[in-house]
Amino acid sequence: MIAPPIPQDEAQRILALRDLLILDTQPEERFDLVTAYCQSRFQVAVALVSLVDADRQWFKSACGLDAQETPREVSFCAHAILGSGALVVADATQDARFFDNPLVVGPPYIQFYAGAPLITRSGHAVGTLCLIDPRPRNLEPEELAHLESLARAVSIELEGLAPTPTDSAAN
């Protein structure tokens, strides 16, 4: 297993995450609706809104998984926050970063993972909207675009942002 590298902006990223005042809060329907939709739409076992803290990933919403958090060093999402686009792992058992990860060789037996970063207005990736399944697969380009759009919607909800006039004009 390859532990996820620490982002260059880690101190600022953690401050941005903690400024959201959302860690360790109760479940909220606005996020649970998104993960339930993702589980159904993408036909996966698990969909999560995952926030990557200093030493853990914490789940604001989890559909199909009973855990509330996992250690950051085994987190797929901690890898996903390193890029601006979605990270897709078609078969974790064949990926050098993950093949011996405890979440791959044990419950929930992750083989497929797709995570789109949740990026704040300040540009910090604080977590992901992710899909997990115990069987290998991939996403079509349209599905990937859909996941990334949903992640942007979750990012907006995390910050409590109202649509800007530019957003309204696009409709």
pLDDT of residue 170: 44
Domain count for the chain, please give it: 1
The answer to the question of residue 2 being in a domain is no
The answer to the question of residue 171 being in a domain is no
The answer to the question of residue 102 being in a domain is yes
The answer to the question of residue 123 being in a domain is yes
DSSP letters for the chain = --PPPPPTTHHHHHHHHHHT--TTPPP-HHHHHHHHHHHHHTT-SEEEEEEE-SSEEEEEEEES---SEEEGGG-SHHHHTTSSS-EEES-GGG-TTTTT-HHHHSTT---EEEEEEEE-TTS-EEEEEEEEESS-----HHHHHHHHHHHHHHHHHHHTPPPPHHHHHT-
* Domain span including residue 54: 10-166
Residue 66's domain is classified under what CATH number?
3.30.450.40
User: For each of the chain's 171 residues, which pLDDT tens digit applies?
Assistant: 898 999 999 999 999 999 999 999 999 999 999 999 999 999 999 999 999 999 999 999 999 999 999 999 999 999 999 988 999 999 999 999 999 999 999 999 999 999 999 999 999 999 999 999 999 999 999 999 999 999 999 999 999 853 444 444 444
The answer to the question of residue 142 being in a domain is yes
The answer to the question of residue 48 being in a domain is yes
The answer to the question of residue 3 being in a domain is no
Residue 143 to residues 4, 91, 133, 167, Cα–Cα distance (Å):
25, 17, 15, 22
